[in-house]
Amino acid sequence: MENRSVLVTGASSGIGKECALLLARHGFRVFAGVRKQRDAEALGEAGDGRIVPVMIDVTEASSIQAAVNTVREALPADATFALVNNAGITVAGPLEILPIDSLRRQFEVNVIGQVAVTQAFLPLLRGHRGRIVIMGSVLGRISPPLVGPYAAAKFALEAITDSLSIELRGSGIRVVLLEPGNIATPIWEKSKNNVLERLDSLEPVRRALYAKTRADIVRIARAFARGGLASSHVARKVVHALTVRAPRTRYRIGIDSKILSTLSPLVPDRFRYWLTRVVLFLAR
């Protein structure tokens, strides 16, 4: 079997963890990027010797460089190497009351962090017949209410994928963007609680203005949790993107992703806005 290695960022839970475990079962040596020691220990125990936890904070240059050094020292000369840019956070809430620092944090982790990791690992990718998988979303094509910051970051990854794919064409490095629809992960529940706390801390007049919005946030989080695909669907597509001879540049995952991303550029904005509200159970 080919000697294959891969770094997966954001591997402590959800999609990233599922990717790390499935790639290990498919024979990859997985460098699993985490930020907490307890997550490193849990992954190391679960990987049957094929998962190597790597401490990495994608917003810290020194942490990224330390991860590069760790991976470089462990890579056999004949190994292929791939990068799965999965690390991310969710910032949600009405844009009117969103702290600007939270918006900056959204882009710092989900966009700038992915570019920083890619830059740092490109020399290894060039030397080891590399591939890059970027974790996008159907929300990189449509932007529902109350999740504008997250959607904006995913829109940015669409642009970065196009530019990076063309720029690396001569290097033989394939760049793949995954566009999952609704995936059942704990990320939305965490975000919901943060938004509700922010709304509840508003002064009475503004809190009254957002009384219906508060109910909508609960409804959106419930909608995302109710119909989401399992993370394993995304993990299987990551394995495909890293093993198929000629991967596509984009993969839409889930019926909702395929339908919404296909319809979005074809219909008038008002219809698209209405359809988005219907999907999120917000239409009355």
DSSP 204-235: HHHHHHTHHHHHHHHHHHHHHHHHPBPHHHHH
191 inside domain: no
Domain span at residue 38 reads: 4-184+229-265
Under the banding of pLDDT at 50, 70 and 90, the label for residue 241 is very high
- Residues annotated as catalytic are 150
Mean pLDDT of 30-47: 92
Residue 13 sits in a domain of what CATH number?
3.40.50.720
pLDDT in tens, 157-179: 999 999 999 999 889 999 999 99
Residue 9 CB: number of other CB atoms within 10 A?
Answer: 29
pLDDT value at residue 256: 83
Q: CB of 7 within 8 A of CB of 238? A: no
Does the reported pTM lie above 0.85? yes
274 inside domain: no
Mean pLDDT of 233-254: 96
- Higher pLDDT, residue 193 or 177: 177
30 inside domain: yes
- Three-class SS of residue 6? strand
Q: CB of 142 within 8 A of CB of 122? A: no
The C-alpha atoms of residue 114 and residue 269 are separated, in whole angstroms, by 31
Mean pLDDT of 239-244: 97
243 inside domain: yes
219 inside domain: no
pLDDT in tens, 109-162: 999 999 999 999 999 999 998 999 999 999 999 888 888 999 999 999 999 999
91-105, 127-141, 209-223: least confident range: 209-223
Mean pLDDT of the chain: 90
Cα–Cα separations (whole angstroms), residue 278 to 57, 207, 223, 273: 37, 25, 11, 9
133 inside domain: yes
Work out how many domains the chain is built from and give that number: 1
278 inside domain: no
279 inside domain: no
Mean pLDDT of 77-92: 94
Percent pLDDT > 70 in the chain is: 94
- For residue 284, pLDDT over 70 is answered with no
Q: What angle do CA 159, 223, 87 make, to 5 degrees?
A: 40
